Structure 1
Amino acid sequence: MAVAVCGVPMGRRAAGVRTVITVALVFAAATASTASFAAPAREAAASGAPGRALEVVALVTGKVERTAVGYRADAVLQRMHAGERVLPAGVPVTILLEDATGIDLGARIRTDATAFRADPGERSVLVVRISETPGTIEPAAGVLGTAAWLRSSLAAAASTLPGPGADLIPGLAVGDTAQVDDRLDERMKTASLSHLTAVSGANCAIVVGLAFLLAAACGASRALRVVIGGAALIGFVILVTPEPSVVRAATMAAIAMLALLLGRRSAGLAVLSLAVAVLLALDPWLASSLGFALSVAATGALLVLAAPLAAGMSRYLPRPLAAVIAVPLAAQIACGPLIVLIDPGVAAYGVVANILAAPAAPMATVVGLAACLAAPLPVLQAGLAALAWLPSAWVAATAELVSTLPVRTVPWAEGPVGLVLLAVVGGAVAVLLVPGARRRPARLVRLLGAGVATITAGVALGSLAVTAVVIPLSTPDDWRVAMCDVGQGDAVLVRSGDATMLVDTGPEPEPLAGCLDRLGVERVDVLVLTHFDLDHVGGLEAVIGRVGLLLHGPATDEGDEHDIGRISADRVVSATAGMRGGLGEATWRVLWPADSAAFPAGNDASVVVELSGPGLPRTLLLGDLGAGAQRALLASGALQPPYQVVKLAHHGSADQEAALYAALGASLVLIPVGADNDYGHPRDEALGMASRGGAAIARSDRDGLVLAGLTATDRGARVTVWREHAPVEVGGAE
């Protein structure tokens, strides 16, 4: 007697399980074999190259991407010499360059370089650093050369159009983000729209679908339609470069077309599973690619979760609206836990932003791709690029709008804990919304899901209320000098009227960005980079594209010059003693660095700035000067004490000159310093010098954000100070 389970006979069910297990073992063995066969050459290259001067010939196999320190590209070694020793060729590497002119997919580079091991688990065996312009570049030729020409032609056509919408056109059409500056890139990430410039399954589906329609319109047979669709797919992959998400989407499309050719139905989830298995067998290192994992997770969510979510929400919303919301919600539920591994936060408006951008993105993709292919006809290309600009500008405007909203990111636990917590929350949301999930689980599961979702919503709303309402209302808005809490680093703001100066950016962009948002600073009229240590310039990304005048200390190498260039300031000036300028109603004056070889670039050549003006405490910011430079500054006669607010030099290190602080006569001494730092800052000796004479001490490790201003009294002007963790007032009347 046959027994059925869930409507499937037991014998057939067992046979299906055996088949799945067999196929899984076959692909697991293939994956292990691929990694095993590649291991000897990979290990020989990894152990023989680091620490040596290399002669390298490499073929670029991936998209050239801009980074904070130059450019990077995936490549395959065709030849590598370390002195007389020939190292294995054919291994994948990552190339770091300072100048990517003439380098694209398919280009061949011959150059001298150095290398170091890539991180474990990476596809690349080595990271090859080219410190100068590559010796010889053979541009991509043939089909790859044509694709490179088409991409550059589209970028050139888009560059004639205005605003960030023009910069997005190549990215939306063919995944070329070279024109997207750091500010726009940050806005796209904040709005969870950066995936629109990463070519995915939707782009492949559009291309293959159009090819099929055109072939069918011409009366082509099914087999010929599949061939034409496959050729269009291959050409599209070459055009957009074979990134992990592109390869995944193209493999799925190829499998679906093969099923069509064989006259078999193809289930989306089965196609996705087979595509992932094939790709991992051919390239096991894709398993460590976050881009590949996000692509698979998003596709799986759309196949499995989007329709049930839409059905569940349609009980409360119009069906079309429910369908529109379900797609980004499903993707966020699936991808969110992976994203928190690299960015511990949840985009508060990601779903809303994707709903707003949804009508425009496909239009920009299709019309932009047509503009790219119309490169041989410049007039037609220009017209199509102008049409693509409209939806592209809509996407850019959506990202800009979201970036102006309060609490754009909800803080979340990082690492595996954050992943598990967000996965649980996503599961709870699915249990509550999906109709089948409400009927089948036990009542306890539904109650747990409701509890988790309710608690999470409460915490999120509470965080939103605190961050968007309570903190701004409790933060004084009459400040004139602000010391941001950015950890072990400097970031001091000075405001006069509507103008703002920022002195240094701290070690990371996130704390500085939070401080600027909290204080309502949208534009930095004057940015001072006292010197180029990481704890003073590491947060540059928070102000890129927002700077009027950049004053910087001595640049020591090409890395410093690169930092200066990527700020995109309206004016750039190397600071020297004696310079002066205006900031609203106030004036600033550079007192240091001196033109002396005795103080080379670095701490002792830090830019020292004095500020004074109506309503502004007389302020002196001492950078990271050591005792020797402090003595020279005191002897130079440039100082005009007394100063009401002084920033203690070098986070309160012991290398201080007591005579300087005695002469300054400060009412308030600011010490930007990280909690529990490894240097023991601020040192007791420095604290003693700073507080001598009755000056109040404010330090960011204990006080958090510190704001200072001036209050008029009968006896003169008094410095007032607000501390985030202990609000008090201090005197200092003059």
Structure 2
Amino acid sequence: MRRHDLRLLGPAAATWAAAWLATGATDAAVAPWLVAAVCWGAAALGLGLTASRARLRVPRSGPSPGPVSTSGGAGIRSVVGAMGPPLAVAAACAALASTLACTGLLAREDSPLATPAETRETVELTARLDSSLRPGTQAPWGGTPSERARATVLSVDGRTTAPVRIDLVLPSTDGADRPAGFGDEVTVRARVTALPGISRAAFRVQASEVITAGAAPEWIAWTHPLRAGLAEQARRLGGDGGALVPGLAIGDTARLPADLADAMSAASLTHLTAVSGANCALVTAIAFWAAGLLRAPRGVRVAAALAALTGFVVLVTPESSVVRAAAMALVVLVAVATGRAGGGAPALGVAVVVLLAADPWYSRDAGFALSVCATAGLVLGARPLASALAARMPRPLAAALAVPLAAQLACQPVLVLLDPVLPVYGVPANLLAAPAAPIATMAGLVGCLLLPVLPSVGFAALQVAWLPASWIALLARGVSGMPNTAVPWLPDAPGAALCAVAVAAAAVLLGARRRPVDGARRRPVLRPVAVGVLCLAVAVPIGVTAGRPALTTALLPADWDVLQCDIGQGDAVLVRDHGATLLIDTGPDPERLTACLALAGVRRVDLAVITHWDADHAGGAAAIAGRVGLVLHGPLDGARSDRVLGPLARGGAELVQVGAGASGRLGAADWRVLWPPARAEPGNDASVVLDLRAEQYRAVFLGDLGAEAQAALLREADPGRADLVKVAHHGSADQDPALYRELAPAVGLIGVGADNGYGHPTASLLDLLDAQGVAVVRSDSYGAAALTVDGDRVRVWSERAPPGAGGVVPAP
């Protein structure tokens, strides 16, 4: 079997590590120049060792000085000297990347945007879009829809400045004075926010107004009508296939429905809509082949392939995976042009070093990491896996299975960092999608290119692409609907490390074979060791992640009255009374709410209250569709409330809009709505405030009321004392102390996500509750927390013990 040239993988790994450390240095309060200095020092050491090795070499001519001893000090110096060249190369590459990272961080500090980012003043700036416009993520509290793009600042307040990358958020309008996409220039009036050093963009620019928009240069502008035409004609195709065609052809997923995107992710098929190496290889290979049919010389064929590759990158926009694939293809084309062997491993090494030196922030880009890992898996692992599998199954099946398996194994440690699960059906889904993907890609690309000149032929090509695209969508939805689509895994770095160990053990296990020794056949020692390591590496994270919920459920007190779910930044609280269950808000994520309901053993919700329509209170409503009887809600808010209530109504729930004065019963408890007043406008201050009076306690749930609404509630509803209060707005600073003094609760619940970015709960709110002797139970510290009222005491059980609290907080 042909051996791979792996000499450039060391410099690539060193460059990646140095770039990663340097870009994160300022966030860790470390001088980034320290990383660069260490790398330059290592490069100097490598050069010194190389020179030392050269002095020990035997002269090629002249009188021989006799044999050179390789023992003692000379031998050691010879061995150490052999380390010089690779160390020098790797350290020099790392030093270059870290130095450029330092330069980029310094440019951020010196940027004219740094001052308005601190003062929050509005500035006028001109920027060039470095990506297509995509729908922005709407803020949890609502607001104007937006569009987002990566961009580079060209001038600030009319003065030309050094280019700095930004995350540009534009108001979504259909007016003519707006950019069309990649390469356009736009002048906006905006506020600026500084981003962490690890962010590829130095600032986030939130535009309040688009002043002017200029067209992109001609060498980019030609792509805009092609992308727009493809999106428009794909809509005519209809169905999931029509939604997928632009993504498969040119990576345009801007109009991909959220549920289909989730299904693609669950089936591990998302990479098909992220243009990368396979697409670039197809384009360059076809261009090279077409030039060959014309009997063009090698140089012309290489030039044709390079031109096709450049046009393709501009058409699909230079995303990280595309740039990596294009750089690797460029290295291979140069090798072909010069007549040198361009192996995959050296090409990958060169591409990684060059790109990380040019842009050190690629080292923290998940798409770039997945692209590199997938390529490395295919280059280094596909052939050995195919050979190993061929010993156990037919060779054609082994060859087909090895490709998705090699890519999946190589990418899995990175995927675990993004989502700590192992996909169960990922490899079979990719195997079934493999024949359809290239057909859909090439037919879609041909259709995109032909639509402006031959519309009917172009649309016919899109119809050809629609069929395999529909198959991929059908496959994704089928897999996502299957039970147990993923196995839970340890999160963060420990999970990624264990996953890497498991992948390595699996590779060794697949590659190990029985070998004849002294006429007998025995199992190599490496094989049982690999089996043991694989079993441990898989059993530990699965045992921790799958066993922990079971243990938590077993430890949860059976007689709990109120349970605050751990659903991140948001609210979801369960109340139980005499067998009836109330759910107040659903949090932002259906999966996390489903997990909380399973923890509590709740299969059906008798009464649900949606306090208002923000995503952090209503985004998880799909988890109770078909499982809830009555839903109370405040004033409707058009499309936002329709998205929440539609699935609930289709699941058979009765929907009732309520205001102050509405009342009813839950088990043996009475509930009453204290707020909002009649004709209130939807929003935080129209949150439904519920007053629940059970046999042994009284609880008030404040939604997201701000200080003014809280003061009005105190005046108009005269709430009186309560034993338990769900603190308003996750503990923000916008609170009315008088209301909390009136309620005088024993326990305050705060639904809040760790490192939420809003500063919730604020120090002022915590000081307010502490001054009143309120025991605070916050979900970021406690996880899920269950409260049991026992006479005049409230017992608090928590999923995890907060710092210094031992997991139990006695109420005063």
Query: In which range does the TM-score fall when normalised by the shorter chain?
Result: 0.7 to 0.9
In the TM superposition, what is the alpha-carbon distance from 1:262 to its structure 2 partner?
A: 1.2
Matches within 5 A, 1:360-379: 360-376=436-452, 377-379=454-456
Encode CA deviations 1:146-189: one digit per residue, 9 max, x unaligned. 21111111111111233222211111110001011322222222
* Residue in 2 that maps onto 1:725: none
Contiguous gaps of at least 5 residues in structure 2: 1-56, 59-77, 139-145, 557-561, 650-654, 663-670, 693-698, 732-736, 755-759, 777-786, 802-812
Is 1:124 aligned to residue 206 of structure 2? no
Is 1:59 aligned to residue 128 of structure 2? yes
**Most deviating of 624-633 and 362-371:** 624-633
Q: Secondary structure at the match of 1:91?
A: strand
Question: Which of 469, 488, 492 is the equivalent residue of 1:415?
Answer: 492
* Residue in 2 that maps onto 1:583: none
Q: Partners of 2:585 and 2:229 in 1: how far apart? A: 39
Is 1:454 aligned to residue 520 of structure 2? no
Q: Partners of 1:247 and 1:192 in 2: how far apart? A: 22
Distance change (3 Å), C-alpha of 1:272 and 1:403: same
**Most deviating of 546-555 and 172-181:** 546-555
CA contact (8 A) 1:656 1:686 kept: no
CA contact (8 A) 1:529 1:537 kept: yes
Distance change (3 Å), C-alpha of 1:37 and 1:647: closer
Q: Secondary structure at the match of 1:71?
A: strand
Q: Partners of 1:658 and 1:579 in 2: how far apart? A: 20
In the TM superposition, what is the alpha-carbon distance from 1:515 to its structure 2 partner?
A: 4.9
In the TM superposition, what is the alpha-carbon distance from 1:685 to its structure 2 partner?
A: 7.5
Distance change (3 Å), C-alpha of 1:114 and 1:28: same
Is 1:308 aligned to residue 384 of structure 2? yes
* Residue in 2 that maps onto 1:664: none
Is 1:402 aligned to residue 468 of structure 2? no
Q: Partners of 1:337 and 1:199 in 2: how far apart? A: 21
* Residue in 2 that maps onto 1:279: 355
Q: Secondary structure at the match of 1:110?
A: strand
Distance change (3 Å), C-alpha of 1:256 and 1:513: farther
Encode CA deviations 1:466-513: one digit per residue, 9 max, x unaligned. 7999999999xxxxx998653675336899xxxx99752225554125
Is 1:44 aligned to residue 125 of structure 2? no
RMSD: 5.5
Q: Secondary structure at the match of 1:129?
A: strand
Is 1:382 aligned to residue 448 of structure 2? no
* Residue in 2 that maps onto 1:530: 611
Q: Secondary structure at the match of 2:587?
A: coil
Encode CA deviations 1:555-604: one digit per residue, 9 max, x unaligned. 9xxxx999669869589999563999xxxxxxx9988421378x9953x6
In the TM superposition, what is the alpha-carbon distance from 1:234 to its structure 2 partner?
A: 0.5
Is 1:27 aligned to residue 93 of structure 2? yes
Q: Secondary structure at the match of 2:237?
A: coil
Q: Secondary structure at the match of 1:74?
A: strand
In the TM superposition, what is the alpha-carbon distance from 1:49 to its structure 2 partner?
A: 3.8
- The percentage of counterpart residues that share the same residue type is 39
Question: Which of 298, 302, 307 is the equivalent residue of 1:222?
Answer: 298
**Most deviating of 509-518 and 54-63:** 509-518
Distance change (3 Å), C-alpha of 1:179 and 1:487: closer
CA contact (8 A) 2:572 2:584 kept: yes
Distance change (3 Å), C-alpha of 1:650 and 1:459: same
In the TM superposition, what is the alpha-carbon distance from 1:255 to its structure 2 partner?
A: 1.3
Distance change (3 Å), C-alpha of 1:507 and 1:525: same
Matches within 5 A, 1:652-731: 701=798
* Residue in 1 that maps onto 2:324: 248
Distance change (3 Å), C-alpha of 1:219 and 1:506: same
Amino acid at match of 1:43: E
**Most deviating of 238-247 and 46-55:** 46-55
Q: Secondary structure at the match of 2:617?
A: helix
* Residue in 2 that maps onto 1:99: 172
CA contact (8 A) 1:543 1:567 kept: no
* Residue in 1 that maps onto 2:659: 577
In the TM superposition, what is the alpha-carbon distance from 1:233 to its structure 2 partner?
A: 0.5
Contiguous gaps of at least 5 residues in structure 1: 1-9, 476-480, 581-587, 612-618, 637-645, 662-668, 705-734
Q: Give the TM-score of the pair, scaled to structure 2.
A: 0.66
Amino acid at match of 1:178: A
CA contact (8 A) 2:563 2:574 kept: yes
Q: Secondary structure at the match of 2:417?
A: coil
Distance change (3 Å), C-alpha of 1:670 and 1:167: farther
Q: Secondary structure at the match of 2:275?
A: coil
Encode CA deviations 1:37-81: one digit per residue, 9 max, x unaligned. 555533211633413321100010123333423432111111112
**Most deviating of 462-471 and 280-289:** 462-471
Distance change (3 Å), C-alpha of 1:298 and 1:563: farther
Amino acid at match of 1:506: G
Is 1:594 aligned to residue 651 of structure 2? no
Amino acid at match of 2:438: P
* Residue in 2 that maps onto 1:156: 232
Q: Partners of 1:26 and 1:317 in 2: how far apart? A: 46
Q: Partners of 2:632 and 2:185 in 1: how far apart? A: 40
Distance change (3 Å), C-alpha of 1:450 and 1:72: same
In the TM superposition, what is the alpha-carbon distance from 1:427 to its structure 2 partner?
A: 0.8
In the TM superposition, what is the alpha-carbon distance from 1:97 to its structure 2 partner?
A: 2.5
* Residue in 1 that maps onto 2:41: none
Distance change (3 Å), C-alpha of 1:87 and 1:146: closer
Q: Partners of 2:497 and 2:246 in 1: how far apart? A: 36
Amino acid at match of 1:96: V
Is 1:89 aligned to residue 150 of structure 2? no
Question: Which of 326, 338, 344 is the equivalent residue of 2:402?
Answer: 326
Matches within 5 A, 1:188-267: 188-267=264-343
Q: Secondary structure at the match of 2:163?
A: coil
CA contact (8 A) 1:159 1:167 kept: yes
**Most deviating of 507-516 and 110-119:** 507-516
* Residue in 2 that maps onto 1:142: 218
